[in-house]
Amino acid sequence: MTKMKTVLLAGALAFSSLAGVAYAENPKVGGAAMFEDKNIVENAMNSKDHTTLVAAVKAAGLVETLQGTGPFTVFAPTNEAFAALPAGTVDTLLKPENKDQLAKILTCHVVAAKAMAADVAKMVKDDGGMHKAKTVGGCELTFKDDMGKVTVTDENGTVANVTTADVVQSNGVIHVVDKVLLPKM
């Protein structure tokens, strides 16, 4: 097993051993309550800040996947993050002929584990200041601690800030980010 898989497994096991611990109420996202007994898609559909992400998940055919048992950690870009892409990018990606490219981009925001912010911070610290993880889409994300805030860097050097962490879902956790993370193109 690679070091990354070992660290992710250790983090998942550490979290599962704490499953009985009561956590604070989920933060609101996009003005909406997020419910721990709802899955990633059900909660995201209620966030006014994630309408573009929800439309993209539907266009990419990923609704069923993200409603699955997981566990998943999703780094969820806001509408503003999508709007910051070059003009026309989102409209182009939402076209049926670009479904595979859109699915690749979206799955580069998903890690196949439930990693709470404390787990990620510990992995970063244990790895000397940065931790790399493979996504479901095969991309590599680099996590760093920037003065107590977790940042996520994609393969192109784009740095996303986690603006809302630890939004617990029935099948994982969402961390809201302020940039769209892209695979190396």
CATH number at residue 91: 2.30.180.10
**Whole-number pLDDT of residue 87:** 93
Total of domains in the chain? 1
Per the domain annotation, does 20 fall within a domain?
no
In a domain, 57, yes or no: yes
pLDDT, tens digit only, all 185 positions of the chain: 444 333 333 333 333 333 333 445 887 787 777 878 888 898 898 889 999 999 999 999 999 898 888 899 999 999 999 999 999 999 999 999 999 999 999 999 999 999 999 889 899 999 999 999 999 999 999 999 877 788 999 999 999 999 999 999 999 999 999 999 999 97
Provide the domain limits for residue 76: 3-15+26-177
Q: What is the spatial distance between Cα 42 and Cα 167, in angstroms, rounded to a whole number? A: 13
Q: Residue 127 domain-assigned?
A: yes
Q: Which residues pair with 132 in a beta bridge?
A: 142
Q: Which DSSP helix (H) or strand (E) runs through 58?
A: helix 51-59
- Is position 21 within any domain? no
Helical packing angle, 117-126 and 3-17, nearest 10° = 140
* Residue 61 in domain: yes
**Looking at residue 1, what is its pLDDT?**
40
Is residue 185 included in any domain, yes or no? no
pTM: 0.83
